[in-house]
Structure 1
C-alpha cells in the first residue's frame, strides 16, 4: 500500500505544533506550562518530586501534549529530564518527538536492552525520551512487575525528572498501578468535554490506588477567543 506523503507530513507538523514550549517559549500557553512546573515544585515541601505521572479521565483530553510540554519546561530549566511513554496500548510520544518505536520501555522491562541504550536524544537540551517500544500483550502486568520498580529506581538515579505519560484512568488500570510508584500525579481534563462525574471518579480511583494527586490541568479552555490557556488547580 502506497504511503500518502502529504498525510504523513501533516501528521508530523501537527505533532511538532504540540510542543509549543519549544517552538514558541514566549507564548501565553508556554507561560502556563511554566506555571504548572512551578506549582509542581511547591506542591511537595518535604520531598522533592523526581517521578511524575500525567494521565487523564479519557482519551483526547490532552494528557500526552501536557506531559510533553512539561518535560520540555523542566529541561529548559536545566534539569536532566526523561519523558517515558507508559501508554503501551496507544503510544504517541515517539510521534511527538519524531522518534521510532522499535525499542523502548517494553524492551527494558523484558531485559532485551538496558535503559541507557533504550533512551533517545531529542533536539531539546537536557531532554531524552523513552518510547513505549513494541506493544505487549500484558501492559498492566509489566507496569506492576518487580522489573518496573527496578526500572524506576534506575531512571531516578540517571535523571532529575522522570515524566510518565500513561493511559487514561477510566479506560484501563495502568495509571492506577503506576500512580503509587510515582512521587506525584497530574490529572488532565478537557474544558467542555470531561464530565464532572468522570473527573471525580478518576480522582477516587487514583486516591484508592494511594497515588499522590498534585492537581488538575484544565485543558482547552478558551479565555479570549484567540488563545487557549492551560490552568493548574491544586486539590
Structure 2
C-alpha cells in the first residue's frame, strides 16, 4: 500500500510538472501557446509580474502557475515562482521542498529574499514557498513590505509568477492583482459556475487588474489521455 501511494505521488508530481517532465507533449505545447499570448498581450508594457488565480478552489490554478513558470524559464528567462497562497500553500509539495521559511519570512524581515529563494531542477526557475502560515495574510500582502518585495524581486528576476488563493474565498488575490502587470484566471471545464466566473471578473475589475485571459483547464479530449489547457486570449 505504501509503495502504491508513493508511486501515485510520483505520477501526480510528474503530471503537475508536465512542461518539465514531458516538454514535447501536446499539453506542454498549449502552455507555450499561452506564454506567447501573454507576451503579445501588452505591446506598451512588458508583463514581468503575473498572477494566476481562479474563482473557486480545486480548479487547477496552481498547476497552471507552475507550468507557466517553467515555460518562461525554458525561454531563458530568470523566473521566480511565488507561492502567495499563505492559507493553503502547495508549492513545497510540488517541488518536494521544506516550507520552514519562505514569503512570510521575507515580508517579516526574518530572512532576505536571496536566502529564502530555492533552486529547482529546471534551469533558470526558482521557487519561493509560502513559509509559515501567518495569522494575517491579507495584511502582509497589502503592506509596505510587499511593495519592497516587488522591487527586490524585479531587480533579481526577469519574471515573477504568483500563485494566489481563489478570488471568491478571500481578498488576498484582489490585493495582489492590483500590484501585478497581468492576471490569468483559471476555470475548470464542467465545474466552474458561470455566475462565479462573472463575479470573479467583477472582483478583478474592481481593483483595476489587467486580466490577460482565461484558461480553460481539465478539458478532456476524445481518444487521448491528455488534458488540454486553453488560453482564451
In the alignment, the residues of structure 1 paired with residue 100 and residue 24 of structure 2 have an alpha-carbon distance, to the nearest angstrom, of 34
The answer to whether the 8 A contact 1:75-1:126 is kept is yes
Structure 1 unaligned regions, length at least 5: none
Report the secondary structure of 1:186's partner residue: strand
Residues 179-215 of structure 1, C-alpha deviations (whole Å, 9 max, x = no match): 0100000000000000111111000001101111100
Match of 2:228 in 1: 229
In the alignment, the residues of structure 2 paired with residue 103 and residue 48 of structure 1 have an alpha-carbon distance, to the nearest angstrom, of 30
Shift of 1:8: 5.1
In the alignment, the residues of structure 2 paired with residue 161 and residue 110 of structure 1 have an alpha-carbon distance, to the nearest angstrom, of 23
Shift of 1:12: 4.5
Report the aligned-residue RMSD: 1.2
Match of 1:184 in 2: 182
Report the secondary structure of 1:197's partner residue: helix
Match of 1:91 in 2: 89
In the alignment, the residues of structure 2 paired with residue 36 and residue 213 of structure 1 have an alpha-carbon distance, to the nearest angstrom, of 13
Residues 118-139 of structure 1, C-alpha deviations (whole Å, 9 max, x = no match): 0000000000000000000000
Cα distance change of structure 1 residues 116 and 9 upon mapping to structure 2, 3 Å threshold: farther
Report the secondary structure of 2:232's partner residue: strand
**Is 209-218 or 222-231 further displaced after alignment?**
222-231
Count of paired positions:
231
Shift of 1:26: 0.6
Shift of 1:5: 6.8
Do structure 1's residue 150 and structure 2's residue 148 form an aligned pair?
yes
The answer to whether the 8 A contact 1:21-1:73 is kept is yes
Shift of 1:99: 1.0
The answer to whether the 8 A contact 1:16-1:96 is kept is no
In the alignment, the residues of structure 1 paired with residue 49 and residue 87 of structure 2 have an alpha-carbon distance, to the nearest angstrom, of 21
The answer to whether the 8 A contact 1:16-1:97 is kept is no
Regions of 4+ moved over 6 Å:
none
In the alignment, the residues of structure 2 paired with residue 60 and residue 228 of structure 1 have an alpha-carbon distance, to the nearest angstrom, of 15
Match of 2:210 in 1: 212
In the alignment, the residues of structure 1 paired with residue 10 and residue 107 of structure 2 have an alpha-carbon distance, to the nearest angstrom, of 28
Match of 1:35 in 2: 33
Do structure 1's residue 175 and structure 2's residue 173 form an aligned pair?
yes
In the alignment, the residues of structure 2 paired with residue 213 and residue 55 of structure 1 have an alpha-carbon distance, to the nearest angstrom, of 11
Match of 2:67 in 1: 69
Cα distance change of structure 1 residues 200 and 115 upon mapping to structure 2, 3 Å threshold: same
Q: What TM-score do you get using the length of structure 1 for normalisation? A: 0.95
Structure 2 unaligned regions, length at least 5: none
1:38-117 correspondence runs (5 A): 38-117=36-115
